Structure 1
Amino acid sequence: MSKDDDKGRGSDDRLTLTIGTPKGPFTADFAKTAKVSDVIEAAIKRMKLSGAPEDFEVFHGDQEFKPVTRTLVSFGLADGDKLLLAAQGEGV
């Protein structure tokens, strides 16, 4: 009955997303319950971006993903969706 009973079973709890970054795109697999901040941190690490997580914003089309503590699934993302990681301000 618990939501945790389904954890780790198949790919229903995962999303494959393509993330556009200032240094080009990459594709990665995330848990649906991952937070937007997890996507930002993965992009910084994978693409060796300069700046701190708070220096970036994530968008899906015109929709900005805020707050960054919100889960990916709460934005209604589907497997294969494309996100854009943008530097905010002039710091990056």
Structure 2
Amino acid sequence: MLGELSPLLDRYGYAAIGRFLAFNAVGAGLWVGVRATLGYVAGGHIAPVHQPAQRDQRFLLVVLGRLVAALIVWHLLRRRPAETTKP
């Protein structure tokens, strides 16, 4: 995602410290505001989300475990040096 934003970020790479701190404060305020609002809205509706998640917890853990195992196997196979055949 930063690859698409790098031309925009490059423009601010040499910003003065005051400008950087202002943008940083605005970004932090927006981040906290959005997260707090989403948490408040989701907190009021936790029961409809929690009951199905509780019911399907074992299934989700099995799926997550298989995904992690597949990623580990893929990583180990990718690191293995390729066998060379000599005639």
* TM-score, normalized by the shorter chain, greater than 0.5: no
Coarse TM-score class (shorter-chain normalised): under 0.3
Bigger Rg over Cα = 2
Q: TM-score, normalised by structure 2?
A: 0.17
> Which structure is higher in RCO with an 8 Å CA cutoff and minimum separation 6?
1
Going by fraction, where is helix more abundant, 1 or 2?
Answer: 2
Q: TM-score, normalised by structure 1?
A: 0.17
